[in-house]
Structure 1
Amino acid sequence: MAEALRAGGNPSSVHASGRRARAIVDKARREVATLAGAEPSEIVFTSGGTEANNLALSGAGRRRVLISAVEHDSVRRAVPQAEVLPVDGEGVLDLAALERALAASAEPVVVSVMLANNETGVLQPIAEVVRLARRAGALVHCDAVQGAGKVPVGLRDLGVDYLSLSAHKIGGPTGVGALVVRKGAPLTAALCGGGQESNRRAGTENVAGISGFGAAAVLAAPGQDLAALRDGLELSLVQIVPAARAFGAGARRLSNTSCVPMPGVPAETQVLALDLAGVCISAGAACSSGKVQRSPVLEAMGVPAADADCAVRISLGWNSGSADIERLIAAWQNLYIRVRQSDIFHTDSRARAA
């Protein structure tokens, strides 16, 4: 990225500086295409996963859109009129409901189902989604932002028409992503102006960000299994608080993600207390403008409101180790003990006052 910034130049310019910038973008396009199991010409660089999701759903040219109830807000809010399909108690799409919805109308459809949930890590049955969609002549979009770098995200292996990626989820810079568009799939540009990205996304490319995305893509091949660390973490939390079961634990999940409640302790309190202890966790989606609010994902899974309000998301990174887990467990336990002691003190005080 530093080299790209030093080089300068507009990739659309034909002079030497522009050609150097174009070479940087083209190299990164090949690197991202390799990660996505696609051809370089199928990569459309965007400002991130949110824009990629919006571009896919607005650009597919289909008025009827089916989405799962646990999709990211950038999918849910991109198409407010979308038909929302239910999930089971583990957060897995109800395939029978999808089949019924596809059969309900002959109108052309685009189906949007994420690869892995950003809050619970639960993996969706994309192969079955594609099978049902193809039988009905539907297009398929898959938000693979959370899954990239953790599980394979090959466009053709998944069988989808559109695939969304984000650089910062694989260790790259924020503010850059890509929509992978299967050759032949329809796509109407949402931003108009110049002819960048083969007339699919106007605007001068973010050369340094795209360069960083490519570098991260090279290093992001799935392979590191963090399930042992995650399972040990969840076991320890349950030993401290028996009700702290991980949501979605009965389904196939990413190996780095846990969504657990600390009953009686608001998620915001947990986030702040652990942050003071040097541990960064999230409540709900991390990109909800810094606001802690009830998770629509957990609501769709049928999690009671009282439990959903106390749920936090714990994500392990490529460099997480046992010492990090122990630090988190200690901070979580200390908070729980403090809350319990405070509850006991207030209960005793009220009893004496009575």
Structure 2
Amino acid sequence: MNNVLKWFTKDSFIYPVVAIIMGLFLGAFVMLIGGYNPITAYGALIDKVFGSTYNFGEAIREMTPLLMTGLAFAFASRAGLFNIGAEGQYIVGMTAATFIGIKFTSLPLIIHAPLALIAGAIAGGLWASVAGFLKATRGVNEVITSIMMNWIALYMANLVVRQFLLMPGENRSEQIQPSASIAIGWLSELMNNSRVHWGTLIALVAALFFYIFMWKTKQGFELRAVGFNHHAAQYAGMRVNRNVVKAMFISGIFAGLGGAFQVLGVFGYQTVFQGSPGIGFDGIAVALIGMNHPLGVVLGAILFGGLTYGSSGMSFAADVPPELIRIVIGSIIFFIAAQGIVRWVLKPFNSKRKKEKVL
């Protein structure tokens, strides 16, 4: 708990907060240039997210897969790896969960749903570990392999759906068995039939696991050591190659679970993709906003998911195009990446704080 409280007072927390504020102001400036009222627009966004229990539940649903793909990217980053393949791992996890959810029948809920989730997690982990194995054994850059595997995953998923799971006359799979669903029926009814599911709770547990594993265990220390300097880690007797594969496998588990949540908790089926869904790439933005810290990723997913879901409210109530929200998100990421600008803005406050400490 003390480490979490310290994180809130460190620059690693302050800089993203200031970057978010600057991004929102820049977005407001762009709206003014375009002839839109930023106060009305942001008010409509907030009202869309918090205006009703249904919209609030749907906003939470929007945040959940972003949290999982954000954790996937952040976990690999802590081990010095750039997992740009969360998109493919998300799709593979979704497909594996769909297959189990449809083809396995006559199973009780207590077995079927966890089995489908485990299948999605393992599928995502194995898919990511291919890039990790090539990195560890052949030195192949994981960016190249993982981004190419995104497209392999997309077309492979479409092939599986069309060949084995397709609903006749539709461009999607059959419906999963009711016993494989992770939707929370009673809570959905309380929130006006919003698509809330157990995956949100599992995602928060995954973020807690990330923190405990990475900062409280020997294996997590080794992964971070490999991320800081793999030559020094190897000299210290750590098995660098094994840790690379392990990091990618766990990273893929996160992304694969995110895909499984969407099928088992939200849609109940898998469509034939016409293009990449983009959740894995958005997860990179979430991880960057959260500075690759699990708590930061949770907050980043809340922000990103809220802005994404609330953008429709801006379109209807303030006539603001949803593309402007992408400008806001892009601005936030820009200011986080360009921390020199944020430091320059905070320089007067930091100087005052230093003087107070001296006194």
TM-score by length of 1: 0.25
The structure with the largest helix share of the pair is 2
The structure with the largest strand share of the pair is 1
